[in-house]
Chains A and B, each alone.
Chain A
Amino acid sequence: EAGVAQSPRYKIIEKRQSVAFWCNPISGHATLYWYQQILGQGPKLLIQFQNNGVVDDSQLPKDRFSAERLKGVDSTLKIQPAKLEDSAVYLCASSFGRQGVYTGELFFGEGSRLTVL
């Protein structure tokens, strides 16, 4: 079974530039998450989608970050303009997440490492 796919794996940009990350979740997974992981810390949830609707984006810095999940499958996370403090690994995860079904498991991709200079 294919896992969660993310691209690019690495990206280096100057501050104030823009960047986009792409995620393809496991087939059939209704719920998709974007996490930000700063070096030395645990992952922090940015946004959660259920199908193509946003469930929670309370920790997403909306002045510079945006995310979409068109058609309830792939998702894109964009940062514009980037700041130095956005340097982190951006992790995408998916789960089965159907109503009434509790699987207890999130599946993570390998992440996209962003360096802002």
Chain B
Amino acid sequence: DAKTTQPNSMESNEEEPVHLPCNHSTISGTDYIHWYRQLPSQGPEYVIHGLTSNVNNRMASLAIAEDRKSSTLILHRATLRDAAVYYCILRDDRYSGAGSYQLTFGKGTKLSVIP
């Protein structure tokens, strides 16, 4: 499985943008890049995913390097509610023919937001 590397922890001030980096130098051409986050005492929740082009949704933006060996999750204005562990995951391509797939989680980046 292709691996990802993330910093263990990051800090941000409230209402400032946050850039969470992820390295995935062994990514294959068909690996999707997923981001999930996990708030304290909650299950992980989907944030965003992409393949090659940058992606935006109501929660965040995903910037993908041209060579796809790294990506950055961008939270445009951090709030206290954004304090969580953020996981960068490459979609395991096994079983994709059946329409289902697996996500293998690493340790993620713990984001602290300072009021």
Are B44 and A108 in touch, CB under 8 angstroms?
A: yes
The smallest beta-carbon distance between A4 and chain B, in angstroms, is 8
0 or 1 for each of B74-103: is its CB under 8 Å from A? (1 = yes): 000000000001010001001111111111
The smallest beta-carbon distance between B101 and chain A, in angstroms, is 8
Chain A: interface residue total (CB-CB under 8 A): 32
The smallest beta-carbon distance between B13 and chain A, in angstroms, is 26
Are B106 and A106 in touch, CB under 8 angstroms?
A: no
Q: How large is the interface on B (under 10, 10 to 19, 20 to 34, 35 or more residues)?
A: 20 to 34
A31–B91 CA distance with the chains assembled, in angstroms: 15
On chain A, the residues within 8 Å of B41 by CB distance are 110
Are A44 and B105 in touch, CB under 8 angstroms?
A: yes
B45 nearest CB neighbor, chain A only: A108
Are B43 and A108 in touch, CB under 8 angstroms?
A: yes
B34 at the interface (CB under 8 A from A): yes
A95 nearest CB neighbor, chain B only: B100
Tell me the residues in window 38-71 of chain B with beta carbons closer than 8 Å to chain A beta carbons.
Answer: 41-46, 49
On chain B, the residues within 8 Å of A104 by CB distance are 32, 34, 46, 49, 91
A-B contact count (CB 8 A): 74
List 26 A-B pairs, Cβ < 8 Å.
A4-B43, A30-B100, A41-B107, A42-B85, A42-B87, A44-B105, A45-B102, A48-B102, A50-B100, A56-B94, A56-B95, A91-B43, A93-B44, A97-B100, A97-B101, A99-B97, A100-B99, A104-B32, A104-B46, A105-B46, A106-B36, A108-B44, A110-B41, A110-B43, A111-B42, A111-B43
Chain B residues with CB under 8 Å of chain A are 32, 34, 36, 41-46, 49, 85, 87, 91, 94-108
Extra contacts, 11 of them, besides A45-B102, A108-B43, A109-B43 (Cβ < 8 A), are A42-B87, A42-B105, A43-B105, A48-B100, A50-B100, A56-B95, A91-B43, A93-B44, A104-B32, A105-B49, A111-B43
6 tightest Cβ-Cβ pairs between the two chains A and B: A108-B43, A42-B105, A99-B99, A97-B100, A31-B100, A104-B49
Chain A residues with CB under 8 Å of chain B are 4, 30-31, 33, 35, 40-45, 48, 50, 55-56, 91, 93, 95, 97-102, 104-111
